[in-house]
Chains A and B, each alone.
Chain A
Amino acid sequence: MKQDSLEMERSLEKLKEILHRCVKCGRCRAVCPVFTALGSEPAAARGKLALLEAWLRAGRRLRGRRLQEVLSLCLLCGRCTANCPNGAGAKEAVELARSIMAAQGGLAWTKTLLSCFSSLHREARDPWLKAAGFFQRLVMRELPMERGLVLRLSATELGELWAPKIKPPFFLERHAQKLGKGPIRVALFAGCTIHYLAPEVGQATLGVLDRMGFEVLIPGGQGCCGLMAMGMGDKPRAARLARKVVEDFAMEEIEAVVVPCASCAFQLSRGIPQILNDDPMGPRARLLAAKVKELSVFLLEQQALSLLPKNQGASHRGTVAYHDPCHLALGMGIREEPRKILKGLRSRSFRELDSPDECCGMGGTFRVFHPDAAASISWRRLQSLRKAKVNEVVTGCMGCWMGLKEMLHRGSEEIRVRHLGELVWEELEKEKRAGTQQGG
């Protein structure tokens, strides 16, 4: 109990510090996707900060439906933080405020349920999802089922839109604990979306790592990174999930933890060490964080480009654009690595979008609570993809992967959404085939 109130004090202090740094210049109005979509001040980072400041100055506890609503108007994309001339950190303020509200008992019920569900261990969770797959259309409408992923799906279902098929067996069930044998050992953190919805991305990633000669460990019991719980302000749960990640992955014999999803990579390398800062597991969390490699960074560091075929095969597959995930570009400053890889592919030509730095509108559960704003944000993204006339759009974040798929479905576009790992794998496979043909 005492620990909790201490924690609360600290969060409040941190929040106040951020609020103090904001001078209300208004620059964040120019970069905030939610503000652009809604055009009203409470949607901008500045509005949220001003409101929080007014609450705290009035000596009040953070609560109330309207405050919650205003705080929910955030994708946690980090554009405000990245562009604030004072380094005020509005995104972090929203996170802190959400966690303070949650701790004071103000989490909205849907969010609470969602958060509970994501913290169940995988074994406990899977039957739910299998059932969900079975009853997908039916169940989801009745019961916004409360894992981040499921909530996202339910949102897409509600609008009669594209919904990915949950098809057991799931990725981690199919793949052995260990793959290959090599001098360098790495671990793979799959993340929820790959596990439940996009096993092909996991398989492609594994394929690439294997071809590159790594020994890959895939801890079978691995769970959720906790980013979603964190984003909803459920810090205790996020901390529990974080400890589980550390337990599963902080192994000495591993040289890197490869993460094919940008959001998970952000959480593992930045979020978890912060959440567990004062935890006894803190030091291990930091060690783990230092080993975390987002897939594109890892591939580039390990010279994956040199393995790719050199000459352009007959089967040119058209043009490809890259969609920057917020957590990668803004959260970790990684923009060049994925582009370098895409430009290194012989089977595709790379085309830059005219406004590379735009959000897909997914933003954790943002889309669930603000479908119209999310639609308007993704519409802008769709426009730039259309303008670029590409065949495929590649991203490295499974949240964006879903967001883009849904958006393209809505726009009846022929553009395919791919994961970076898939393209690299395709290219390697092609090389192999070409090799065997030549040999034979």
Chain B
Amino acid sequence: MGKEDRFLDGKTCKELKRILGPHQLKLDWETRVCYGYDATNQLFVPHAVCFPEDTSQVSRILELASAKRIPVVPRGAGSGFTGGALPVQGGLVLSTERMNRILSISQEDLVAVVQPGVVTGVFQKVVSGMGLFYPPDPASQDFSTLGGNVAECAGGMRALKYGVTRDYVLGLEVVLPTGSIVRTGGRTVKNVVGYDLTRLMVGSEGTLGIITEITLKLIPLPEARRTVLVFFPSIKTASLAVTKIFSQGVLPSAMELVDRACLDCVAQSKPVRFPAETAAMLLVEVDGSRLSVEEQAAKVAHVCHGLGSLELQVSQDEAQAESLWSMRKAISPALARIRPHRLNEDVVVPRSLLPEAMERFSKIGEQWGVPVTAFGHAGDGNIHVNVLYDRSDPQEAQRAEKAAEAVMRATVELGGSLSGEHGIGTTKARFLSLEIHPQALELMCAIKTLLDPKGILNPGKIFPQRGKGAPA
């Protein structure tokens, strides 16, 4: 089954086995299938899957792959939304599942060193047990890996107040496509020696190097948090509330907007009750000292009441807050209840234009006759716009493509960006030139060629091109 072993002749396999040991290389079709998809729900069966356990193995694999021109695709948990981990041209999937150790946590330096396969949520639990805080919280935090987060520069609900993954990466150990091992950055919060290679690697979607070790910044864990859940009769008032809350001098740690369609979806699997005339829900989290949390929550409530909110709930304890957030995290996959497939855009617009953007997106849906839902990080203008469709209806699929393109164009027109956190991968590559200047694109290509002259590392991603791989 699968394609002929174009890249992997007997000799190469033998060498790979020598590097990895017999159990860390898998060639059977069943295993290969299980490492050929991600959250875009597409499948490209790789020729082999390997599970290195340390940096030197990664380095030797890349050296070999470079020599033999074998595509190598790094893979964390495969929860990416843009096809980053898909082996679109076949080759070798390099899973970080066996590199999942937390190497050290320093309470004095507020620094942790981890391997890339550590699951974000597991890490967060460990540090919070020590009174420390690692804020980046993509909705996939319970299963996505820190390596994947760094490679995509994942954001999250708390990005509003605490920033995104990039803001917590102090240093990296990276294996370049040629096999050489590079260390960037260090253990200090301040560091301006030389070019900022760390930032170059963060968000590079596994196309410039394989991250084998990450040094992360930590902060003290806030004393308390409160979650406020508000229902609004219109998206507009909900979006207005967002700006009003800021103007009251409150900087929530998270502020999530969810439209009615999304709400109806999660309500099918999570216990959530809302007034019948709800059009949008706002989920606001404030944190800080016990005292300040009460005060902030009161201010949020005051603003929302003033705007005619329908109903408002304040979490009373950690468990209640958790259940509110778990509902928010379930939204994205639950949209499949409306239509099985989707074009998942995570556009960002300037905050002040949020109400206008929301209106335009919903009009685009009507115009093309496909369901368009919106939810996401209202606080920073990062909205997940999902164009839903059914692949088995080719016409609907085509209309969905058009609608998605219209969403992108509208975003750029509003001075926004095509992706706030999911990256470009394969699904958005053809839109890259909408946002990136030709000269900048050229520069990026030059950097890629410099680091990966043979073009073996995660080929077919980010840059517009005709993917050669055949879907299985």
Within 8 A of B (CB), among A144-186: none
Distance in angstroms between the alpha carbons of A27 and B100 in the assembled complex: 18
A24 is an interface residue with CB less than 8 A from chain B: yes
- Please give the distance in Å from A1's CB to the nearest CB on chain B: 31
Within 8 A of A (CB), among B288-319: none
A204 is an interface residue with CB less than 8 A from chain B: no
- Please give the distance in Å from B159's CB to the nearest CB on chain A: 20
From A50-58, A100-108, A205-213, A270-278, give the one contacting chain B: A50-58
Check if B39 sits within 8 Å of A67, measured CB to CB. Answer: no
Check if A87 sits within 8 Å of B269, measured CB to CB. Answer: yes
Distance in angstroms between the alpha carbons of A24 and B77 in the assembled complex: 11
Check if A23 sits within 8 Å of B336, measured CB to CB. Answer: yes
B192 is an interface residue with CB less than 8 A from chain A: no
**Could you say which of A24, A25, A47, A87 has the most chain B C-beta atoms within 10 Å of its C-beta?**
A25
B441 is an interface residue with CB less than 8 A from chain A: no
Closest to B144 in A: A26
Closest to B31 in A: A42
Tell me what chain A mostly uses at the interface: helix, strand, loop, or mixed: helix
Of the candidates A24, A40, A87, which one forms a contact with B97 in the assembled complex, judged by CB atoms under 8 Å apart? A40
A interface size (C-beta, 8 A): 29
From B222-230, B246-254, B327-335, B452-460, give the one contacting chain A: B327-335
Check if A30 sits within 8 Å of B336, measured CB to CB. Answer: no
Check if B39 sits within 8 Å of A26, measured CB to CB. Answer: yes
Check if A47 sits within 8 Å of B1, measured CB to CB. Answer: no
Given the complex, which residues of B lie within 8 Å of A22, measured CB to CB? Answer: 41
Chain A 181-202, CB-CB to B under 8 Å as 1, else 0, gives: 0000000000000000000000
Check if A85 sits within 8 Å of B266, measured CB to CB. Answer: yes
Given the complex, which residues of A lie within 8 Å of B37, measured CB to CB? Answer: 24, 50
Distance in angstroms between the alpha carbons of A50 and B332 in the assembled complex: 19
Closest to A30 in B: B142
A61 is an interface residue with CB less than 8 A from chain B: no
Check if A85 sits within 8 Å of B269, measured CB to CB. Answer: yes
Distance in angstroms between the alpha carbons of A87 and B335 in the assembled complex: 11
A41 is an interface residue with CB less than 8 A from chain B: yes
Given the complex, which residues of A lie within 8 Å of B95, measured CB to CB? Answer: 41
Check if A24 sits within 8 Å of B38, measured CB to CB. Answer: yes
Within 8 A of B (CB), among A29-76: 29-30, 39-42, 47, 50-51, 53-54, 57-58, 64, 66-67, 70
B78 is an interface residue with CB less than 8 A from chain A: yes
Check if B39 sits within 8 Å of A54, measured CB to CB. Answer: no
Closest to B51 in A: A40
Check if A27 sits within 8 Å of B43, measured CB to CB. Answer: no
Closest to B35 in A: A41
Chain B 99-129, CB-CB to A under 8 Å as 1, else 0, gives: 0100000000000000000010100000000
B444 is an interface residue with CB less than 8 A from chain A: no
Of the candidates B30, B31, B79, which one forms a contact with A25 in the assembled complex, judged by CB atoms under 8 Å apart? B79
Of the candidates A21, A24, A42, A57, which one forms a contact with B39 in the assembled complex, judged by CB atoms under 8 Å apart? A24
- Please give the distance in Å from A406's CB to the nearest CB on chain B: 27
Of the candidates A29, A41, A66, A86, which one forms a contact with B336 in the assembled complex, judged by CB atoms under 8 Å apart? A86
Closest to B342 in A: A23
Check if A70 sits within 8 Å of B30, measured CB to CB. Answer: yes
Check if B121 sits within 8 Å of A54, measured CB to CB. Answer: no
Tell me what chain B mostly uses at the interface: helix, strand, loop, or mixed: loop
Knowing A26-B79, A41-B78, the reply to whether A85 touches B333 (Cβ < 8 A) is yes
Of the candidates A24, A30, A54, A66, which one forms a contact with B472 in the assembled complex, judged by CB atoms under 8 Å apart? A54
Within 8 A of A (CB), among B45-77: 45, 51, 77
**Could you say which of B28, B30, B330, B472 has the most chain A C-beta atoms within 10 Å of its C-beta?**
B30
Given the complex, which residues of B lie within 8 Å of A39, measured CB to CB? Answer: 97-98, 100
Check if A41 sits within 8 Å of B39, measured CB to CB. Answer: no
Closest to A67 in B: B30
Closest to A47 in B: B34
B7 is an interface residue with CB less than 8 A from chain A: no
Distance in angstroms between the alpha carbons of A377 and B417 in the assembled complex: 44
- Please give the distance in Å from A373's CB to the nearest CB on chain B: 15
Knowing A40-B97, A50-B37, A58-B1, the reply to whether A26 touches B30 (Cβ < 8 A) is no
Check if B34 sits within 8 Å of A42, measured CB to CB. Answer: yes
- Please give the distance in Å from B143's CB to the nearest CB on chain A: 4
Check if B78 sits within 8 Å of A86, measured CB to CB. Answer: no
A20 is an interface residue with CB less than 8 A from chain B: yes
Given the complex, which residues of A lie within 8 Å of B28, measured CB to CB? Answer: 66
B220 is an interface residue with CB less than 8 A from chain A: no
Within 8 A of A (CB), among B69-97: 77-79, 95, 97
Check if B268 sits within 8 Å of A51, measured CB to CB. Answer: no
Distance in angstroms between the alpha carbons of A53 and B34 in the assembled complex: 11
Knowing A85-B330, A85-B334, the reply to whether A27 touches B1 (Cβ < 8 A) is no
Distance in angstroms between the alpha carbons of A42 and B95 in the assembled complex: 13
Distance in angstroms between the alpha carbons of A20 and B37 in the assembled complex: 15
Closest to B98 in A: A39
B340 is an interface residue with CB less than 8 A from chain A: yes
B33 is an interface residue with CB less than 8 A from chain A: yes
B215 is an interface residue with CB less than 8 A from chain A: no
Given the complex, which residues of A lie within 8 Å of B331, measured CB to CB? Answer: 85
Check if B143 sits within 8 Å of A51, measured CB to CB. Answer: no
B149 is an interface residue with CB less than 8 A from chain A: no
Distance in angstroms between the alpha carbons of A39 and B98 in the assembled complex: 8
29 A-B pairs with C-beta separation under 8 A: A22-B41, A23-B39, A23-B41, A23-B336, A24-B39, A25-B140, A25-B332, A26-B78, A26-B140, A27-B140, A30-B119, A39-B98, A41-B78, A41-B95, A47-B34, A54-B33, A54-B43, A54-B45, A54-B472, A57-B472, A66-B28, A70-B34, A84-B269, A85-B332, A86-B269, A86-B337, A87-B268, A87-B269, A87-B337
Beyond A23-B333, A39-B98, A41-B34, 10 additional contacts (C-beta under 8 Å) are A21-B336, A23-B336, A27-B140, A30-B119, A51-B30, A51-B33, A53-B43, A54-B45, A57-B472, A86-B333
Closest 9 CB pairs of A and B: A30-B142, A25-B333, A85-B333, A85-B330, A26-B79, A85-B334, A47-B34, A29-B143, A30-B143
